Copies of this chain bind each other. A is one copy, B any other.
Amino acid sequence: MSWRKETRRAERGYHHGNLKEALLQAALGLIAEKGAAGFTFADAARMAGVSPAAPYRHFRDREELLSSIAQRGFEQFEALLTQAWDDGRPDTVTAFERVGKAYLAFARNEPAFYSAMFESGLPVDANPTLMAASERAFGIIRAAAERLAALAPPGTPRPPAMMMALHIWSMSHGVASLFGRGDAARRKLPMSAEDLLEAEVLIYLRGLGFPTDRRPAAADQKPSGPPPVPPAGPWGTPK
């Protein structure tokens, strides 16, 4: 029996022992449930079994708790994007699309973090730590764009990597915000958010001159290996 030294039992005595962490977890659950706006400091305290004033020993105010969550969110986000990018393996275009999908997956699987990070209205640029975490996450997208830009087909002007990164970011964020959430503000879609974004990115990359129809950028990585399943095109099979 693993007796985690945690929020088990209300008779934990006067001192909680791990309140800060418990509050963060409680808040995460509450935000996922009722949105960043509906989340309540007092509720988190109640859920942790402490008085409404206790949280103030660990967070200056409600906003700082939110910031902490956003901070963690950006860190997890960065980790997820890093993993998705996987340093561009097996090939740059494939990895690039995986990053886009990871963005969506994060929005869908971690609505609380996503909400705190992008929809809570907290001033990201006012908090240097938060800002830095945000920049690091975006840095992954930017690094991926850098690699992709370097593979621009010869003869065409090379697209600025920063611009590409911003474009990919805005596409991912737009799709995630409009269609990628569990049930809030959902709209009827003829396709999944994932497919929508994938097609969008593919069309965009094609617009930059990247070959995307068959094996993408075969000269990119080691030229051997089994060819991935060739997609029929950016929007399924044209009938």
**Could you tell me which A residues sit within 8 Å of B by CB distance?**
35-38, 118-121, 123-125, 134, 157-160, 162-163, 166-167, 169-175, 177-179, 184-187, 189-191, 196-197, 199-200, 202-208, 233-235, 238
Contacts and interface: CB of A to CB of B under 8 A. Distances in A.
Contact of A171 (B158, B170, B233): B170
A17 to B, nearest CB: 33
Contacts of A190: 160, 162-163
B171 A196 contact: no
A140 to B, nearest CB: 15
B184 A196 contact: no
Contacts of A207: 202-208, 234
Contact of A177 (B159, B177, B179, B202): B177
A75 B165 CA distance: 33
Looking at A118, A158, A177, the one whose CB has the most chain B CB atoms below 10 A away is A177
A166 B186 contact: no
A238 B223 CA distance: 31
A20 to B, nearest CB: 24
A136 to B, nearest CB: 13
Nearest first, the 3 A-B pairs at minimum CB distance are: A174-B174, A207-B207, A157-B238
